[in-house]
Amino acid sequence: MGIYTEFVLKHSIEIEAPPEKIWDFFYKIEDYYRIWHPEDHIIFKWTNGNPLEVGSTIYSEQSMNGEKVKLKGICTEVIPNRKIVFKFDFPTSFMCPKIEWLIEPKGRNSIFTAVTYYKFGRLFLRFSKDKTEHILETTQKHMKEEAENLKLILEKK
């Protein structure tokens, strides 16, 4: 048994929009971040580099469980109209090393999938089982709400 246990949370939703429309949303995420999840999202900025380019850095703030979370990271993988990967800086990376946004064409529609990776140490899991479950449940709920909101925003006629 390793030092860490990994958890991978996924949520997918079908959106009546081509991949290019979803990609454009993320390209302009600085403008759309608060609209995407009005209750939780505060700010998203590209701090160095251009949007959706490998090596570009980000800063974002959001509310999770009523607590402001500040995230810094780097865009580590980009496949235009298909995939965006962010790795987070320490200390976030200690428990949540990366997230992925995946876009898969499906006829005239797209499947959007958000993936969040967590890793928890054995001692944390042993002594903080309730906290671990709460983090995972809250993240899954947030991912579902983001997906549903993205669908509503992009399907507006």
Fill in the DSSP letter of residue 101.
E
Phi, psi of 82 (to 5 degrees): -135, -40
pLDDT at residue 132 tops 70: yes
The torsion defined by the Cα of 18, 100, 149 and 24, in degrees rounded to 10, comes to -40
The CB-side HSE value for 17 (13 A sphere, CA atoms) comes to 20
**Separation between Cα atoms, residue 73 and residue 96, nearest integer Å:** 11
State pLDDT tens for residues 10-53: 999 999 999 999 999 999 999 999 999 999 999 999 999 999 99
In the chain, pLDDT over 70 holds for what percent of residues? 94
How far is CA 154 from its chain centroid?
17
Query: Was domain 4-155 assigned CATH 3.40.50.300?
Result: no
Beta bridge pairs of residue 112: 13, 103
Asked if pLDDT for residue 88 goes beyond 70, the answer is yes
